[in-house]
Structure 1
Amino acid sequence: MKNRLFTLIILLTVVFYAIAGYHFLTGWHPLVMMFIAITIGLCINSLIYVFLNIIGKGSKNIPMKTVTAILGGIIVFIILKYIGFGWPVLFYSAIAVIGILLCISIYLFQIKRTALSSIFLVLMLIGAGYMLFVLAGSGSDPYDKEIPLAFSNDNGFPPTEVLFDNPAASGDFSINTFTYGSGTDEQRTEFSRGVKYKTNTVDGTWLIPDWTGKKKKWRERYWGFGSDNFPLNGRVYMPQGEGPFPLTLIVHGNHNMIDYSDDGYGYLGSLLASRGIIAVSVDENFLNGHWSGDFRGKEMPARAWLLLKHLELWRNWNNEEGHELEHKVDMDNIMFVGHSRGGEAVSIAAAFNPLPYFPDQAKEKFDFNFNIKGVVALAPTDYRYDRKIVLNNINFLSIQGSYDADEVSFWGMRPYRRLEYTDSISRFKSGVYIHHANHGQFNSTWGNSDFGAPSKWLLNLNPLLKEEQQQEAAKVFISAFAEATLKNNQEYRGLFKNVSVAKQWLPVEHYLTSYESSNHKTIANFEEDIDITTAKDSTIIKGVNLALWKEQNLPTRDEGSQENNAVILGWDYKNDTSSSDKAMYELRLSTDDSIAITTNSTLQFTLGAGNHEWLDINLTEKQKEAKNEDDKREVPQLDFTIQLTDASGQTSALKVSDIKGIPKPLKTRFTKFAFLDKEMIGEDWEVQLQTYHLPLEKFTSINPELNLEEVSNITFIFDQTDYGVMVLDEIGVSGS
């Protein structure tokens, strides 16, 4: 070809077409897709080149070969951006420019080898080489030294007596594994001739009206069925024995539908089965995303409804005389575990369970009413379904990783806070935030990247927990929740109150745990009004010498909402040297308060470190402008004192660190380039609270004269650090 520059640019764009084609999942072999993409790319390149030459014909003063080669490359890269590369525009444009400039430098060097062309070529090779090196690498953790290792000293987690065994250890039961399903699956033998029990299909037409157009066409072509005959397929991990055994259904989230997700929870299913709990991983791959389209949340009712239809199967088998599973299932103890969109689906299913009709279309009658005791939401969504789900009277656990690039905020805490307890049965809810855990590694088939290629090359994978570590942590928390929820082994609740009791079983990492029992009585949760001096039941709030005091809705890192109001408190003795007294935040309880406080009670609140730079609100604009890097203060290791005062004036005080340390903000770097984090993810951290439980008997052991039944004041005294900001919420008292 006479136009050597065009040839070089074609070679460059062919590489990009090959990458896009190889990673475009259709069900065909990736090499076939790569060949198709290259062929299409060559055709597009040639057509653009011919077109540009035709319209530029006759322009004698313009070097058309060079112009058409460069313009053709630019146009092709623009096309590639929208069909194969989900990279941010600025970054993608920079890569394209470097690639085209590299081609130009090679072309100029071939024409005339001068010092200038040589320098240009070397610079472009260095630039391209650097980008390839960074994209091929795993990244780094820029915040590795900012936060001490968790469990590194007893000050962070004082010793606590362990009253239970390792919940992640295999139990005494042998396990049988098998599948059930339609028996007609066209893609997987385990759900066709490999099934142990054949199941009838179910009509989900009313549950997913968006099953139309090309989403319907290509799904039905691939799977061989439509929304009117969804299969009930499941992978079973069955403990051997007489039973009856509690039942847990596990459901995956959204992923490419032809990269099957249901086989990714064997680590969890095997553990539960070995400990005497039937576990079923439910197949809902046919509702997942595909190149033909994503339902974008409109499939959420179907995801939830299918779980309940699976429970119907198990109820029928359990009641069917002569069936191998007759009386094997304890239908009074059922738990759901869901991941990603599945994590939202399990809450929806629990909410659908008692209803007589599908709320979005009453032509679909419900008749479920199962005894669902618990819901576990792993890295869940909470915005896909267009109804806000409020659960009642159920045990709840949500787990989230700080390095989740798919669901970048802890959405599971929103249903946690909405959950209400209205009866006298003892239940609990908990949230666990695992630093350096991501989204995909909770499923052993999804891998360590939360994006598909080529976008995954931008992700910073170096800080992540290893897959086996992340899954070990999940096993500890989920199994402990199952023991407490399905077997009434209440001692396992202690793990969610203070994670240090499990530090010998968990990977060395930071874990922020929230916990609230159904007997919790709220003193202040900052949701009732906009008056910062009042709380529930006529409680009066007073702030003294505070540099910062406000109540606000907590934002997520991507400028969304945590749907939770909290109070933000700051103190700064360096910037306020005239203050002779320490800052305090005091709650004066009403004499009419109905909350019973005894030695068996626990004072609890949720707490998280804030950003000490928020204290700059007290500086003038000139002072802010005058600040430089040397003026920046270290992130403080927060601690403070809690003091109780009774009606007669007796006091007793504890440092928070006597119970549990306050971690510094857990910062993250999701991508390999800091500027991309802001565009793709948001801020490098968001406020995450955890619960602190202070047994009231500790206060009376310090001062036996303190009368807990007449406690009148709860005071937070900021006397342990010179400055700091903390976020406080959900102050209350729980029974034993």
Structure 2
Amino acid sequence: MKKFLRGRLQGYGRAYRLNLKDTGWGMKLVVLVITGFFCGALASEYFGTKLIFFVGGVILGDMLFAGAACLFSRIGGRIWYRNIESFLYGIAGFLIFVCCCVYGSVGNEHMVSTFFAALIYFLLLLSGRFIWAWLVKRRHTLFSGIHFAVGCIVWCAFLAFLFGQGFSDRYISDYLKKNIYVTQAGEVAGFADYCAKGAYTPVCLTYGPDGGTDMTTRTVDLSPYVAKEKKWHRIYRSFFTKHTRKDAPIAGKIWFPKEAENCPVVFMAHGNHSITAESYRGYDYLGEYLASHGYVFVSVDENILNERSGENDARAVLLLENIGEILEKNGDESQPVYSKIDEDNIALMGHSRGGEMIADAYLFNEYDAYPSNGMFTFDYHYRIRALIAVAPSVSQYLPAGHETELSDVDYLVLQGANDQDISVFLGNEQYENVSFSKDGSYIASSLYIAGANHGQFNTEWGEYDIGRPFSLWLNVKNFITAEDQQEILKIASLVFLDKSLKEKDTYADFLTDYAKYAEYLPETLYVQQYETSDALFITDYEEDSDLETAPCGSVSAEHFTMWTEEELADSESAMGKRENHAVRLKWKDTKAAYYEIALDEPMAMGEGGICFDAMDLREKAENEPMDFSVVLTDIHGNRAVSTLCDSTILYPAFPVKLSKIQYITGKNEYKRQLQTVHITEKQFTEENGFDRSQIRSVRFAFDRIENGAVNMDNIAFVK
């Protein structure tokens, strides 16, 4: 038996050894197939699928790769030895393979992705060698047959892994199966009819400077706001557009209600995407829907600024120039949009970079000079009253080096937990930078949506948030459908716009209590946070690092294993810092822990009660949800008590997997979001004589579960 095994192993070594001198055409062919595919797919994405279809891009990429490989192999062959081609092909293939894997493994550690890419690459080469030996070398022995079968299985599994949608994610269904995490909401009278298609007939038209549109517009010089391209970039862009930064087109698409005049208007700005895609057409579903409800909806074409960097200030200027042009048409009797728009009721809406940019546009609208160079002046001053940001970026542009601070404007932000482009909720930063004075009634609201990605909000972008070949590593099987994702945006936008622009408050509590309307929303998990201008803050944890002080009093805590004030993070990833601080409390094997704020001066609680933001730091759905008591004490020592679960279901972290490799490694990226808890005055059980106008202290008593950890922020009384 030993002799037989020794002979088999020696034969195996002779047949399948993988050294530089005996790589042969089998290895070359395998490497060429892999590198050819990735290079070709990359070229097809770069050169655009509109003018050069996918197969043409693959051919072009393969030609470029083959030419470069032959050149280097000939040079190398002069210096080293005859088989240097195989070595170079292998190295080139390996580098391309690893880079694609690492870039496409969103949310995974680069070292882990690199290791798995190297392992997979080695297995593919080895398996390819087995297949080549069986089919070409005709080595039809028992062991080579087994190797051939194993090689075929490896390759089939890899191709299925690469070109499949990925793996089903179960955390949403796991949370929903536990009845304790399901919102028990009843019917809301009239809401189903309210959020259905409206009574008006939507009409669509186009505008632009190049003819073939329903309205002719002008161009605008954006050169002061966007950097000059390099020569090769200008040549590349000239294949797709005749316009430049000096004559950017004012163009887009308008939806309006046929039967109505003097309607509120929404200007929508898309984000960065391929220059070959007509991104502004991806919101037709939203334009048709809002027009049926009596809004004018303008989707602005900012494609001239796509595939650039450092251009978000130019995007803001282009949006404002579009507003001016459309409002001018609104006053022209010869134009089809004449008198359709109420110029005192304007909202801005943006997606991705557009979602960040609308905040810059709001600032520019108030300014008389460009913050980055005061020699360029502004004169806009339109009546912008509301902003809606969809999966926004942040800090692409910092006005004069400062964060974009907004004041006294209604603000709504939405993001998906499965966003693979902006993989953490960057919109939190802008949300935290919205403030209110005591004049007027304003709201900032955010909605975090499990199973939603970045691109499905735009019908032109779809389910893949990054381009090929990197997108082959993304997991997209765990998304909610594009129709559901768009339905959420439609409903949230309608309620918000009705509240902000039409001052219709019938269903405005959707922005503060989505759970009441859960029956009308697609089935998934939602985390909602909000702030209103009538909040009277006790603390927001931004004042200092002294744990025992608050702006309105002193703080004490007992029986915790951890008590600190920390900067929050969206996830473990380095880019997840929010520039927002909160208190962190952790307790173990006790129900006696408490955190108390003793007020220097008594404060009054109105009918609105008390609200605060909380985050359950546990990493899975437990058998009991996070719960604790909120105890108010007045100046006479009388108490009023309520519990968290009386008003809100607080979700643990969402264990999200964004890439296919995360399913192999079993690594989750835990998405943690603050959730606003609102306990009304009626939800408190009061002792006789409790005086809600003379509250002396607020205590959070962690007396419901023995082990847990939370963040808390923005503690305030509500009128």
Question: Once the two structures are superposed, what CA deviation does each residue of 1:600-657 show, in whole Å capped at 9, x if it has no partner?
Answer: 23200001101379xxxxxxxxxxxxxxxxxxx9575211111111121221211211
The two structures, once aligned, show a CA RMSD in angstroms of 2.7
Q: Gaps (5+ residues) in structure 1?
A: 58-63, 185-191, 290-294, 574-578, 614-632
TM-score of the pair, normalised by structure 1: 0.86
1:714 aligns with 2:692: no
Q: Which of 506, 517, 525 is the aligned partner of 1:502? A: 517
The CA distance in 1 between the partners of 2:336 and 2:619, in whole Å, is 62
Q: Deviations over 1:650-696 (max 9, x none)?
A: 21211211111111211101111128889xxx961132011111111
Q: Deviations over 1:186-212 (max 9, x none)?
A: xxxxxx31x111001111111113444
Distance in 1, Cα, partners of 2:266 & 2:31: 56
Q: SS in structure 2 opposite 1:353?
A: helix
2:560 and 2:504 map into 1 onto residues whose CA distance is: 44
Q: Which amino acid aligns with 1:689?
A: L
- Unpaired segments of 5 or more residues in structure 2? 1-22, 105-112
Determine whether 1:670 maps to 2:658: yes
Matches within 5 A, 1:27-176: 27-57=51-81, 67-68=83-84, 70-78=86-94, 80=96, 86-87=103-104, 89-109=114-134, 110-111=136-137, 112-144=139-171, 147-149=174-176, 153=179, 156-157=182-183, 159=185, 162=188, 165-166=191-192, 168-176=195-203
The yes-or-no answer on 1:302 pairing with 2:286 is no
The residue number in structure 2 matching 1:605 is 612
Counterpart of 2:599 in structure 1 is: 589
Partner residue, 2:268: 250
Contact 1:473–1:506 (8 Å) recurs in 2 = yes
User: Counterparts of 1:288 and 1:328 in 2: how far apart (Å)?
Assistant: 30
Tell me what 1:524 maps to. Answer: 539
Q: Which residue identity is paired with 2:291?
A: A
The aligned residue for residue 619 of structure 1 is none
Q: Name the stretch that deviates more: 647-656 or 256-265.
A: 647-656
CA positional deviation for 1:40 = 2.9
Name which of 498, 506, 514 aligns with 2:529: 514
- 3-state SS of paired residue (1:334): strand
3-state SS in 2 of match to 1:490: coil
SS at match of 2:359: helix
TM-aligned CA deviation for residue 94 of structure 1: 3.6
C-alpha separation between the residues in 2 aligned to 1:498 and 1:520? 16
**Among residues 14, 32, 41, which one is paired with 1:19 in the alignment?**
41
Q: 1:548: how far off?
A: 1.9
Task: Please report how far the alpha carbon of residue 363 of structure 1 lies from its aligned counterpart in structure 2 after TM superposition.
Answer: 2.8
Secondary structure at 1:219 match in 2:
helix
The one-character-per-residue Cα deviations of 1:690-719 (angstroms, maximum 9, x if unpaired) are 11111113326x545321011112111112
Determine if the alignment matches structure 1 residue 488 to structure 2 residue 503. yes
Partner of 2:383: 371
Kindly tell me the number of residue pairs found equivalent between the two proteins.
677
Deviations 1:311-350 (CA, angstroms, capped at 9, x unpaired): 1112212333554433321111100110000000111100
Q: Determine helix, strand or coil for the equivalent of 1:504.
A: helix
Mark the CA change 1:674 to 1:636 in structure 2 (over 3 Å): closer, same or farther: farther
State the Cα distance separating 1:89 from its structure 2 match. Answer: 4.2
Query: Does residue 693 of structure 1 match 2:674?
Result: no
Q: Which residue in 2 is equivalent to 1:61? A: none
CA contact (8 A) 1:677 1:684 kept: no
Assess if the C-alpha contact under 8 Å between 1:642 and 1:715 holds in 2: yes
One-letter code aligned to 2:47: L
Instruction: Render the CA deviation track for 1:486-518: whole Å, top value 9, x for unaligned.
Output: 100123331121111211210111111111111
CA pair 730-361 structure 1, distance change in 2 beyond 3 A = same
CA gap 1:158/1:658 in 2 versus in 1, 3 angstroms: farther
Residue type of the alignment partner of 1:355: Y
Q: Distance in 2 between matches of 1:75 and 1:156?
A: 52
Mapped to 2, the partners of 1:175 and 1:416 lie a distance apart of 32
Of all paired residues, the percent bearing the same amino acid is 26
Rounded Cα–Cα distance in structure 2 between residues aligned with 1:675 and 1:73: 30
TM-score (norm 2): 0.88
How far apart, in 2, do the equivalents of 1:335 and 1:714 lie?
38
Give the AA of the match of 1:528.
Answer: E
What corresponds to 1:187 in structure 2? none
The answer (yes or no) to whether the contact 1:636–1:724 under 8 Å persists in 2 is: no
Residue in 2 aligned with 1:284?
302
Distance 1:724 1:370, change over 3 A: same
CA 1:40 to 1:212, structure 2 compared with 1: closer, same or farther past 3 Å? closer
Deviation digits for residues 505-536 of structure 1 (CA, Å, limit 9, x no counterpart): 10111111111111111101111011111111
Tell me how far 1:146 sits from its aligned partner: 7.8
From the superposition, tell whether residues 637 and 147 of structure 1 become closer, same or farther in structure 2 (CA, over 3 Å): farther
> Structure 1 residues 202 and 15 mapped into 2: Cα distance closer, same or farther (>3 Å)?
closer
Deviations 1:547-586 (A, max 9, x none): 221110012322231111011112211xxxxx6x611111
TM-aligned CA deviation for residue 10 of structure 1: 3.7
Q: Distance in 1 between matches of 2:184 and 2:478?
A: 27
Match of 2:638 among 633, 643, 650: 650
Question: 1:456 is aligned with what amino acid?
Answer: S
Q: Give 2:282's match in structure 1, choosing from 264, 285, 307.
A: 264
